[in-house]
Structure 1
Amino acid sequence: MSLALSLIVFKFVLLAGLAAWLSVVAFNNLRAFGNGAFALGQLMRMAPLQQAPAIQTPLLARRVESVFWHRAVLALVLAAELVSAGLLWFAAAAFAGAAAEPAAWANLALAAFMATCLLMLLGGSWFAYYIRQDNVQLLHFVLIGVAVAAMIAVNLRA
């Protein structure tokens, strides 16, 4: 196997792996939409800040109690996940020879993936999730790092 072919295989596996993972995440959010909306609602209600010991902060004025908005935001996140997953699958297929300019498709797909992660990071930060849910914020930063690393990897030339 040549170096060039092994690099193409690596890029395919990376993109297909991210696509598969994000597809499972989107499927889970679709399948258990009510549960996801409830969990997102807890974040938007800023419920973790009310757990003992309660944290009093002026940021609590940002609370959103409306179930309509919880469901609408989850629908937006789900749409972003589905678009990103679809683009990642297409980019993986492009590296398998199904389309021209596979690196360009991969860059677009990874930009969509990063945008999805940034959407969650910014939304969570708006509701101050870093105070009691810092592990979720760390996950979002790690996913952004994965997007950056993947962007570097798919643009490597043999």
Structure 2
Amino acid sequence: MTHRQTADEPCVPTHRLSLRFSSTRRGARLARRLAVQQLTEWTGLPHDCDAAHAVALVTDELAANAVAHGSLPGRDFRLTLLLPPEPVVRLEVTDTRPERLPRHPAAVPTPPDAVSGRGLFLVAVYARRWGCEVRDAFTKTVWAEVARPS
């Protein structure tokens, strides 16, 4: 699935949590910690398992992108966690810049000596699939589905 396509079928979660965070580095850090904590509470998985590490990394990258590229002054970003019946956890980060769509990591290669620009490449590696949806004129949602043990 390419990064701008939506999922074929709607996600029907068994668990759902949605919270807003300040568009700051602290907000991104809190979102990452909450995502891992919620995953472990919902599934009983340990904090140091592969799925928790993947959720932490993907949440961190999506939240950091929302803060760096998707925020307007005074506007928060929203993190939504969904636990569908399938063995994945779906992470959604909604920000206030629908005109700034993420570029596929292969579209613009990052120079080897660059200190940033690899976040979506990491998301693509750790997520089973990911994408971006513009649902209205004011927001966009970047989502990723990370595998978890069934």
Using the size of structure 1 for normalisation, the TM-score is 0.28
Normalized per residue, the structure richer in strand is 2
Higher CA-based Rg? 1
Normalized per residue, the structure richer in helix is 1
Using the size of structure 2 for normalisation, the TM-score is 0.30
